[in-house]
Structure 1
Amino acid sequence: MARRTRKRALQENIDSEEESTFSSEEDEDFEDERLHFEDRFDPVEDNVTNNECEDDSDKIPAAKRTKKSLSLKAETVVKRAKKTLSWREETDVDVAPKPRRFLPAREPGPQLSLADSHSPVSLFKQFFSESAVSNLCHNTNAQAARALAKGRKYSWTDVSVGELYRYIGLVFYIATVKMSSIADYWRQHSIFTLPFPATVMPRDRYRTISWNLHMSHPDADTENDKKRGTAEHDRLFRVKPLMDTIRLACKAFYHPRRNLAVKERFVASKGNAEIARYMKAKPTKVGFKFFALTDSSNGYTVDLSVYTGNDIFPTGNGLSYEAVMSLLDKKVLGSGYHVYMDDFYTSPKLLTDLFAMKFGACGTYREYRKDFPRSSSNSLTQKSTRGSIRWIRDGPLVCVKWMDKQEVSVCSTIHAAYKGDHVKRKVKAQDTWKKKTFPCPAPVTAYNQHMTGVDPSDQLLQYYTVKHKTMKWYRKVFLHFLDVAATNAFILHKELHGNMMHKEFMEVLIEELCGVSQKTAPKHTSSDHVPVPGAELTSDVRNLATTGRRMCVHCKAVHGKTQHTPWKCQVCDVHLCLQLNRNCFQEWHKGL
């Protein structure tokens, strides 16, 4: 009876259409959907049946054996049909899966009181708290003592929390005011002299703190280094204390909105060959790879991790799969989120597993990857016209090809293949360029909106990045943590108050970290505007009235006359007539 039921299900799957709708009930069984759309069967049941047939083959009548072989052939036909599905066009109607309810774990947005006033430094200290900086000071002082014990020749006094905040302020100042080398910021007796850094701390003090800056205790580093080559060795041990603090703060003080983006960041560095990676496509080809989860609406970094090698994900699902899964914590985020990613991460298994977790996903994909459709039936060719669309739906997953200037491949568990969207492109016709409208698939439109172009996260990080040359790999990572903290603090300030540009925010942050304030020019009172001689008085009494005479600016500007006078204003430094019948001095200052 079970075999007959399975055969009837097989026949229905062969005759059924590819498109389907999904139940909106929350307790919907996703595995049943996969069985329905992918024509899969229980391998355990099949194995038991096969074993029984092998063991009792002499007891089964010939008619039944023939019937069973026909059933297996039908199953093979279904699998072959699945591999050679024909691509559909934009005129064919596609039905998207029922949208998942958006149920965030907290109210999206800043998790701080809107009634309170938050200064740039108070927001920055949410990520670099005094306890975290105190730990930095402790480890930095221990590293300096260790270096001096080894024979380093420089003076050292223990760094305090306040001094380390001032040091961080100088790091941001150096990122804002560009010079060719660190020493140039303390260069004296030059037209390029910058007076500010020397008022915060001496050059040698800044350099010694930079040399000894440590996020972990040096004694613990030694113990961890002894484990190199074993499973207990932690490649990120030197950055773990601060990295864990930054990650927790990123999640604690902001909850992302619905659309998320998984991004790859690259920090150039030639240190630590264990975790440094060669990236052929990058301008600086050697460095560290970060995986970052950002809010696509504003670029806020929700979470990040450092890639140290394929062995950090031993489950066997691959780096791209595990990198995304490690950033998406359903207990912290909630459900119903839409995740956008590029072709490095996208795979059918990842998107369908995310769909089972009640996360929608969309991303470009590489056609040669496992389980993506490779059918040539009705597919796009090089001769396909611009705007042509082809799609195949497999359960919740739709794969779309679109001919723009070149072929674009996108898959999604959120959208229908085509919903009537159009894009404008410039095309050349009769030696002139004109704008023309072309149809565009819904997944491509959404991907372009939330993923491509200038990523706000990367853009904000690069404006005032604190990265500069250093031989210590972990200091490169520390500088990136400063970038993330300052950028997230700016985004929080913008969300809470929205009254400050990025440049102004960084300037105020530097002032508050360094403990200084911008000195504005003193306002002059009316008593300061007094007439004084335009030149030094001469001992020759006959020339007192002619020495230093200059043209009166008021006579020239108002009356168009050239009148010379020996008097000028002490504050304004302009010559003005001061006579009984012509008091230009008084008239000039009425408008001030």
Structure 2
Amino acid sequence: MSNFNDYWERKRPLTVHELLAELENIEDGNHYKYDVYITPPTDAGNDTDEDSGEEDCQNPDRLNHNQLDAEAELYINDKPVTEENNVEDNTPTTSSIPSNPHKKVRKATSVIQEKPKWVVDDLKNPICENWSESLLPPISLGAENHSLDFFELFMPAQLVLFLVKHTVQYAASKNRQLTVSVEDMYAFLGILYVSGYNVLPRRRMYWEENDDVQNRLISTSMRRKTFEDIFRNLHAADNSVLDPTDRMAKVRPLIVALNRLFMDYAPIEQSISIDESMIPYFGRHGCKQFIRGKPIRFGFKSWVMATRLGYCLQFNLYQGRRVNDKQDCGLGESVVYNFADVLQTHFENLKFSLFFDNFFTSVKLLTTLGERRIGGTGTVRINRTGNCNLPNDQYYKKTERGSYNHKIDEANNILAVRWKDNSIVTLLSNQYGVKPLQSAARYSAKEKKKVYIPPPNVVSMYNKYMGGVDQFDNNIATYRISMRGKKWYMPIIMWMFDTAMNNAWRLARNVGKSLDNLAFRREVGQALLKKYGKLPLRNGPTSNYSYPLAARRNTKHIILTNQLRRRCAVCKSKTVKACSTCQVPLHDKCFSAFHPNN
């Protein structure tokens, strides 16, 4: 504890990161209990795209970078912690490090763990063998099939019937009379998808007859009132049997059904990315999140597992820490474990390699994945490297772009790498090593030209496969359903409909269809409206007269007066005149129009 004794000679107090590093280096035979008090950090207006740490965090590995850079205060329990005496004594000793006494403090108890032994070496034994080809699902569809066939895999008639059932049930609970068929619900989905690429400021404008906004395909497929009734009552669960502990119970049945379909028809690959996806929402709800620096800052957060090109394999909505969540691991670790369980359940004989960012990555996570024979690669925060003493940022400021250092924990087969690019990045992996070095093109402002730098293999693999969820977000955001509802769960349901469309397109591309995202959505939207849409009845009474045109031409017709007052077969206005032969009510002015060449 030389740094502690020299503290008073320092010009600034120790940070949390420095203090924890000193504690991990202590050879403490008596196992004293250390309490670290953290002064509340300030962001100084800096924006970040990282999530903050968990509230009331008791694990130093889960602190964010602002907390690690904050000033710290150490309290040492004089009484050693033994099996017979494991009682906490909060009496502070005189070896405490002062901090600002006017600031509130947050308590975090450090956990003494066995430190990994890091040596300078490269990863030689990946966790699982590489297989590069994509495995297609057992379906008979090919490039010659219509786009609607792929869409109906993810939105089958059984699932649509489920939506119809609960939509009608909800309307009945509100004393509303609603009659909806499976065909009506398919046509309803078609209108939603058309609104994604043909956006109008108000949804009622799709049924207007004005030349600037008229959409004949929509207006001739479903009446506006029918659409509004379905949109108003759309439901995916029975409100009488909702789980009170599940804050997403209103959409849980649809989540379960879609996740099962996504796995059944997945073009599965070995390298899979795990990340968060935001669903835009600006109303009030306890699960709404705010993440600074994201393209979508306000909304619901969904954990997504996706392939490299954006096929969503699984998703689950974040609703905060729950009582039944695993308490022996962090939030990010539990998300990865749950997705890994799904993969190993559906594909028992396949070995996967997962990619994630610094919100999820830790030495503990990669150790556990290695025990389950699952590869893992991710960027990592500096306090989760298992005390791997790689050079600090000051060292890399003096080195060239592309320089790196690496070490390996041989016991757990985990590689740690720090590499300098535009910024300094740290990665952990149990699947990829440093060699062979790759080549990456960068623009050099100093030399005014493109230069090539040699990134480690693990960095290249991370850059290649980590962007699957970002690609998935981009696919949806480009032609997102534009119709909004006032209920909190409507954005989630619309997002799930968009996810089903995205997966249908990605599957079609995998089997050889060459349509891009827009062309595929247009083809599906038009097919839904033409196949399932119903021509609405005209407003007001309609004429039931149907007289062959040939008979109207070849027969002698005379106008009769003083007939029963009925509507004219041509202009629909009432008249007391009619044709003697056709027995059709007609005005004098409409007689010649009804009887051509007569």
Is residue 2:400 matched to residue 1:400?
no
8 Å CA contact 1:142–1:218 kept in 2: the answer is no
Q: CA deviation at 1:147?
A: 2.3
Is residue 2:537 matched to residue 1:509?
no
**Which residue among 159, 171, 179 is the counterpart of 2:192?**
171
8 Å CA contact 1:265–1:291 kept in 2: the answer is yes
8 Å CA contact 2:354–2:374 kept in 1: the answer is yes
In 1, the alpha carbon distance for the partners of 2:127 and 2:114 equals 29
Equivalent residue for 2:310?
Answer: 299
Is residue 2:486 matched to residue 1:471?
yes
- Amino acid aligned to 1:292: V
- Amino acid aligned to 2:280: A
Q: Secondary structure at the match of 1:435?
A: strand
Equivalent residue for 1:192?
Answer: 213
1:317-356 matches, cutoff 5 A: 317-329=329-341, 330-334=344-348, 335-356=350-371
Q: CA deviation at 1:453?
A: 8.9
- Amino acid aligned to 1:425: R
- Amino acid aligned to 2:155: F
Q: Secondary structure at the match of 1:473?
A: coil
Q: CA deviation at 1:271?
A: 4.5
Equivalent residue for 1:439?
Answer: 454
In 1, the alpha carbon distance for the partners of 2:518 and 2:229 equals 29
Shift in CA distance, 454/257, structure 1 to aligned 2, threshold 3 Å: closer
Shift in CA distance, 51/355, structure 1 to aligned 2, threshold 3 Å: closer
- Amino acid aligned to 1:195: R
1:55-66 matches, cutoff 5 A: none
Shift in CA distance, 341/144, structure 1 to aligned 2, threshold 3 Å: same
Shift in CA distance, 514/435, structure 1 to aligned 2, threshold 3 Å: same
In 1, the alpha carbon distance for the partners of 2:379 and 2:493 equals 32
- Amino acid aligned to 2:517: H
Q: Deviations over 1:184-239 (max 9, x none)?
A: 22233343333322111122221221111000123334xx4xx4xxxxx2212111
Q: CA deviation at 1:477?
A: 1.2
Structure 1 segments (4+ residues) deviating >4 Å: 79-86, 114-117, 374-379
- Amino acid aligned to 1:161: V
Q: Deviations over 1:104-130 (max 9, x none)?
A: 9x9822321257954322222222221
Q: CA deviation at 1:486?
A: 0.7
Q: Secondary structure at the match of 2:263?
A: helix
Q: CA deviation at 1:328?
A: 1.5
Shift in CA distance, 126/378, structure 1 to aligned 2, threshold 3 Å: closer
Equivalent residue for 1:450?
Answer: 465
8 Å CA contact 2:484–2:490 kept in 1: the answer is no
8 Å CA contact 1:401–1:407 kept in 2: the answer is yes
- Amino acid aligned to 1:183: R
Is residue 2:436 matched to residue 1:409?
no
In 2, the alpha carbon distance for the partners of 1:284 and 1:81 equals 40
Is residue 2:120 matched to residue 1:120?
no
**Which residue among 422, 436, 440 is the counterpart of 1:423?**
440
- Amino acid aligned to 1:411: L
In 2, the alpha carbon distance for the partners of 1:242 and 1:453 equals 23
Shift in CA distance, 80/506, structure 1 to aligned 2, threshold 3 Å: closer
Q: CA deviation at 1:282?
A: 2.8
TM-score by length of 2: 0.65
Count residues in correspondence: 419
Q: Secondary structure at the match of 1:515?
A: helix
**Which residue among 128, 133, 144 is the counterpart of 1:100?**
128
Shift in CA distance, 481/433, structure 1 to aligned 2, threshold 3 Å: same
Q: Deviations over 1:483-503 (max 9, x none)?
A: 111111111212223233322
In 1, the alpha carbon distance for the partners of 2:399 and 2:134 equals 47
**Which residue among 319, 327, 336 is the counterpart of 1:308?**
319
1:93-242 matches, cutoff 5 A: 94-98=122-126, 100-101=128-129, 108-113=135-140, 118-148=145-175, 156-221=177-242, 224=243, 227=244, 233-242=245-254
Q: Which moved more, 1:326-335 or 1:301-310?
A: 326-335
8 Å CA contact 1:339–1:361 kept in 2: the answer is yes
Shift in CA distance, 94/173, structure 1 to aligned 2, threshold 3 Å: same
TM-score by length of 1: 0.65
- Amino acid aligned to 2:368: D
In 1, the alpha carbon distance for the partners of 2:114 and 2:287 equals 45
> Kindly, what percent of the aligned residue pairs are identical?
23
In structure 2, list runs of 5 or more residues that go unmatched.
1-81, 85-111, 534-598
Equivalent residue for 2:56?
Answer: none
In 1, the alpha carbon distance for the partners of 2:340 and 2:330 equals 16
- Amino acid aligned to 1:211: R
8 Å CA contact 1:111–1:254 kept in 2: the answer is no
1:506-585 matches, cutoff 5 A: 506-515=521-530
8 Å CA contact 1:109–1:257 kept in 2: the answer is no
**Which residue among 281, 288, 300 is the counterpart of 1:269?**
281
Q: Which moved more, 1:163-172 or 1:114-123?
A: 114-123
In 2, the alpha carbon distance for the partners of 1:500 and 1:249 equals 22
Q: CA deviation at 1:418?
A: 3.7
- Amino acid aligned to 2:319: T
Q: Secondary structure at the match of 2:220?
A: helix
Q: Secondary structure at the match of 2:445?
A: strand
Equivalent residue for 2:62?
Answer: none
In 1, the alpha carbon distance for the partners of 2:472 and 2:224 equals 32
- Amino acid aligned to 1:213: L
Q: Deviations over 1:20-71 (max 9, x none)?
A: xxxxxxxxxxxxxxxxxxxxxxxxxxxxxx999xxxxxxxxxxxxxxxxxxx
Q: Secondary structure at the match of 1:171?
A: helix
8 Å CA contact 2:407–2:417 kept in 1: the answer is yes
Is residue 2:256 matched to residue 1:256?
no
Q: CA deviation at 1:94?
A: 2.1
- Amino acid aligned to 2:292: K
Equivalent residue for 1:551?
Answer: none
Q: CA deviation at 1:376?
A: 4.5
Q: Secondary structure at the match of 1:274?
A: coil
8 Å CA contact 1:511–1:517 kept in 2: the answer is no
- Amino acid aligned to 1:438: I
Equivalent residue for 2:384?
Answer: 369
* CA root-mean-square deviation: 3.1
In 2, the alpha carbon distance for the partners of 1:315 and 1:333 equals 27
In 2, the alpha carbon distance for the partners of 1:504 and 1:463 equals 13
Q: Deviations over 1:503-533 (max 9, x none)?
A: 2221221122112599xxxxxxxxxxxxxxx
Q: CA deviation at 1:261?
A: 0.7
Q: Secondary structure at the match of 1:479?
A: helix
In 2, the alpha carbon distance for the partners of 1:293 and 1:100 equals 19
8 Å CA contact 2:273–2:467 kept in 1: the answer is no
Shift in CA distance, 350/99, structure 1 to aligned 2, threshold 3 Å: closer
Q: Deviations over 1:297-355 (max 9, x none)?
A: x3211111111111252333011001011111313133421111111111111111111
8 Å CA contact 2:363–2:386 kept in 1: the answer is yes
Q: Secondary structure at the match of 1:289?
A: strand
Q: Which moved more, 1:177-186 or 1:278-287?
A: 278-287
